[in-house]
Amino acid sequence: MTTTLENMIDEVLINLAGYTFQQDRATHLTSAVTTTTSTSASPLILSLGSTESVGKGIIEIEEELLWVDSYDRIANTATVSPYGRGYLGSTAATHAADKKVTISPTFPRYSVKRAINDTVSSLGASIFAVKSTSFTFNAATSTYAFTNLNIKNIITISWESIGPSKEWVPIRRYDFDSTADSTAFGANAQTVTLGEYPIPGRTVRVVYATDPVAFTTNAQDYSTQTGLPESTKDVVILGAAYRLLTFLDPARSSQVSPQADETDSKRPFGSSQSATKQLYALYQQRLQEETKAQQQNYPPRVHFSRR
């Protein structure tokens, strides 16, 4: 089964629902939102299935956050303020009829997406993504340039032998330059200089380590986009969950009314920290397991330099 960013957002939200002991209130659009603006002269009026739970404040449609200025419980409409589209850094977008409208979401999908990408980017310090590139060997050229690959380290270099065996012969003598001269090879270029020479015209394959790449669209496949093995998916899920759960307590710290204090007594300030510590411990444990597994899959290989 293909794991996409959309799947991972849903999984993070399902996991966090078990810790928050609450379900977000929701309704749906009864007519499409065809504009991305809401001006004071012509405000956006949302037609909703129900306004029973709607109040002045934040709502979420797909991944956009909107600020509702007023509502009409008779007409089941909500008016968005002039500053309400793409609220809190989310992206204003059009929305089709029947889309879900979440009222005051505990964990907005926009924030979950950002937490997932932050976790993917941070994994580069412990786990590297494994990718490969290739070039055709030319007897007159010993140094080959790679552009915008962000190579951290070369794992193996090999060339395709001639004949039916389809053997890939390892090259153990090479030099890797991570900061190649930009005048000779271009901006952001890295080079490898071969100390062994394959048969001219044969394909040379370079397997290298690089930083994981964050998602840019919700439909991207996890392994294909990040370069990480599928087994690390739960590491990212746990990392995103603990990042989000950390901020539940600040949301309750400003509750000063008697009614709010009574509600908060069931979940006192600081109560989420135990769950956060548990998730962080699980995250660290899985991260160490995946780091060890990667070290076993890609053990250090000896190669010889000409220097």
Alpha carbon distance 252, 240 (integer Å)? 21
Residue 130 CB-half CA count within 13 A: 12
In sequence order, which ranges of 233-271 are alpha helices (DSSP H)? 233-245, 248-252, 258-264
Is the pLDDT score of 179 beyond 80? yes
251: left (phi over 0), alpha (psi -120 to 50) or beta: alpha
Is the pLDDT score of 270 beyond 70? no
Mean pLDDT across the chain: 91
Per-residue confidence at 2, pLDDT binned at 50, 70, 90?
confident
pLDDT attached to residue 21 = 59
pLDDT attached to residue 5 = 97
**Interior/surface letters 272-282, b for 16+ CB within 10 angstroms, e for the rest:** beebbeebbeb
Percentage, residues of the chain above pLDDT 90: 80
**Mean pLDDT, rounded, for 270-285:** 86
Query: Each residue of 153-174: pLDDT tens digit?
Result: 999 999 999 988 889 999 999 9
pTM: 0.87
**Mean pLDDT, rounded, for 194-207:** 95
pLDDT attached to residue 265 = 54
pLDDT attached to residue 269 = 56
pLDDT attached to residue 141 = 94
Closest CA to 159 of 208, 191, 205, 207: 205
Is the pLDDT score of 260 beyond 60? no
Closest CA to 202 of 171, 232, 143, 162: 162
Residues 6+ apart with CB under 8 A from 26: 53, 100, 101, 102, 103
Is the pLDDT score of 208 beyond 90? yes
Three-state DSSP state, 158:
strand
pLDDT attached to residue 36 = 97
Per-residue confidence at 266, pLDDT binned at 50, 70, 90?
low
More confident residue, 24 or 82: 82
Is the pLDDT score of 212 beyond 70? yes
More confident residue, 86 or 301: 86
What single DSSP character describes residue 178?
T
